[in-house]
Structure 1
Amino acid sequence: MADTCTAQDPGLEQGLFSLADLEPALIRKLAARSVELFRAPDAHERPLAGHLVGVLFTKTSTRTRTAFTVGAVRLGAVPVAYGPGDLQLGTGESIADTGRILGAMLDALVARTAGPLEELRELSRRGRFPVVNAMAAQEHPSQGLCDLATLELALGSPEGVRLLYVGEGNNTAVALAHGLAAVPGAHITFATPPGYGVPEPDLAAARRRAERVGAAVAQVHDLTQAPDEVDVVYTTRWQTTGTSKPDPDWRQVFRPFHVDSALLDRWPRAVFLHDLPAHRGDEVAGEVLDGPRSLAWTQAAMKLSSAMAVLEWAAQSQY
């Protein structure tokens, strides 16, 4: 914990902001640790004992907020919860000043806010403490780690996995791109509606990383161009938390990307993933989400162990 809130010069940022920031080996290590904690929730020595972890959520959350709160408690920390109207940020206090105060009193912060990812980095620099991005508009990195851990649990290893992502290139897709690009032999294809693809800078960065480890990242805008061989089909809801689409006819554009049994049966051995919450009848049919090939509920349960792995690592990396 910081000893004072009077320092003017920012420190180095620390924590989890984007999977693009982490070395491939660390991403795979965190995913593997998530699996260990999923199988044995008590396989730790309460490394956060005596720590105070802020949990700031200004956007709705079921899985992520619960996972990080429960994870902090299981690791020995005391969580300090903040809702959307609890901090003076709402009355105009700056991110820099807020960071300095929180860093003087907390050991770490888990945050989902309406602001850009840079604000979370600024909180960390000014507070000189670890900040975990619990979903920003640009990326949902803890979800990406959870997804890799789910693949490891289900397949034995994500190496060489062939994954088809169907739907909007949103913050979950960005995390998946950066995460799977760190896995040797992985092939990920994003099938996204025209105009709703993975942002080009993130796609380019993931492709560069993939080339270094022998993975591949592709994007198409027509499901007829999907790969012939797929191990995993993944989708997310069409309306990301707190966002809206400028095109009033967007549902017509998205409808061909609905995942039903007919689509899943193109790959008879493929399993199904969904980061939840789901809107049955929109992005996915209920028969798929609740069907025998769905790992969505295991994936949701894995959120807790992946949150614990992130918190454990963040506490150990604190300077």
Structure 2
Amino acid sequence: MTKHLLSLADLTQSDFIWLIHRAAEIGDLGGPNSDLLAQRCVGVYFRKTSTRTRTSFAVAAVRLGALPLVYGPADLQTNTGESIEDTGRVLSRYLDAIVIRTAADHDEVVALAQASCIPIINAMTATEHPTQAISDFAMMKRQLGNLSGRRLIYVGEGNNTAVALAFAACRIEGFRIHLVTPEGYGLPDTAKSIATRLSAEYGGSYVEQHEVSPDIEPADVVYTSRWQTTGTTKADPDWRARFEPFRLTETLMARLSRSGDSVFMHDLPANREEDTESSVLDGPQSIALMQSEQKLYTAMAIYEWCVPR
């Protein structure tokens, strides 16, 4: 059966846990070179900007012995009207997997997967960023050890990264995620429903509030993300005023940390002095660069999981 990675909500629990553990294991090993995917070809198709995710999947393919074919937004005939389904049917005859980032919603990657007989890996849609969350939880496992009983505070917009983090957190028994988002910029209702279902089934939990109140319990991980995901704009001309209290400052980081033992994470890119202060991003609690490097090892684990050999 073809294995697709479209949403964290779709994975079996055994596959979800395996991906986190294997990505952490490869990270601990430093991502050794391997010929695991020798004679394979992987399409890396990015219709939105990317530095880390596109590079990590391309480099991971090379280090596993595969040939990556990297496509930009104007390279395929989808740019001239060919359907994503026809694109999938054709590329399935050439490639062994497709990694795709799209500006569209989740339905597009689902349509691509339904038309393809090779693995489709969702490297971010407008609604979810599953590979980011797998990588982040692998990084947390490497840094903190056992994830059960841990707590993460996410401060900022309820974007596709926040959605994926909530889905992942709710799948880990005893893990708690606390989302602190501006009013009107929280998790979408559909994502809340899915997170609630995953929480009931697997034992993790999430809460969300819309103010940075002084009584928030400190956490093991403090996480923020760029306020304008992949450069998207917002309809409200005064949105920056809404977001101002959610900037991750040194003062806020100290308030949300467990006596200095907590780590700071950011999925990058960061808009310095906007979503976070440079003193936090570059500070002693920040593991943002390690977190970015982990994406390479996570890409290797994902290929190992889904690409047939």
Deviation of residue 118 (structure 1)?
Answer: 1.6
**Is the aligned partner of 1:270 residue 2:259?**
no
Deviations 1:77-113 (A, max 9, x none): 1111111111111111111211111111111100112
Is the 2:134–2:298 Cα contact (8 Å) retained in structure 1?
Answer: yes
Which residue, out of 76, 82, 91, partners 2:80? 91
Q: CA RMSD in A?
A: 1.6
In structure 2, the partner of 1:237 is 226
**Is the aligned partner of 1:172 residue 2:164?**
no
**Is the aligned partner of 1:69 residue 2:58?**
yes
Which residue, out of 273, 294, 305, partners 1:302? 294
Is the 1:144–1:176 Cα contact (8 Å) retained in structure 2?
Answer: yes
Deviation of residue 227 (structure 1)?
Answer: 3.0
**Is the aligned partner of 1:314 residue 2:293?**
no
Is the 1:193–1:222 Cα contact (8 Å) retained in structure 2?
Answer: yes
**Is the aligned partner of 1:31 residue 2:20?**
yes
Say how many residue pairs are matched.
Answer: 306
Deviation of residue 123 (structure 1)?
Answer: 1.6
Deviation of residue 24 (structure 1)?
Answer: 2.8
Can you give the 5+ residue segments of structure 1 that lack an aligned partner in the other structure? 1-11
Identity value in percent: 47
In structure 2, the partner of 1:280 is 272
Is the 1:235–1:273 Cα contact (8 Å) retained in structure 2?
Answer: yes
In structure 2, the partner of 1:149 is 138
Can you give the 5+ residue segments of structure 2 that lack an aligned partner in the other structure? none
Once residues 30 and 44 of structure 1 are traced to their aligned partners in structure 2, the CA distance between those partners, rounded to angstroms, is 18
Three-state SS of the structure 2 residue aligned to 1:193 is coil
Deviation of residue 242 (structure 1)?
Answer: 4.1
Three-state SS of the structure 2 residue aligned to 1:253 is helix
Deviation of residue 212 (structure 1)?
Answer: 2.5
Is the 1:191–1:226 Cα contact (8 Å) retained in structure 2?
Answer: no
**Is the aligned partner of 1:78 residue 2:70?**
no
Three-state SS of the structure 2 residue aligned to 1:208 is helix
Deviates more, 1:192-201 or 1:219-228: 219-228
Alignment of 1:95-174 (within 5 A): 95-174=84-163
Deviation of residue 44 (structure 1)?
Answer: 7.3
When the two structures are superposed, what TM-score results if normalisation uses the length of structure 2?
0.95
Three-state SS of the structure 2 residue aligned to 1:81 is strand
**What is the one-letter code of the residue matched to 2:285?**
R
**What is the one-letter code of the residue matched to 1:97?**
D
Once residues 32 and 61 of structure 2 are traced to their aligned partners in structure 1, the CA distance between those partners, rounded to angstroms, is 14
Runs of 4+ more than 6 Å apart: none
Three-state SS of the structure 2 residue aligned to 1:15 is coil
Is the 1:89–1:98 Cα contact (8 Å) retained in structure 2?
Answer: yes
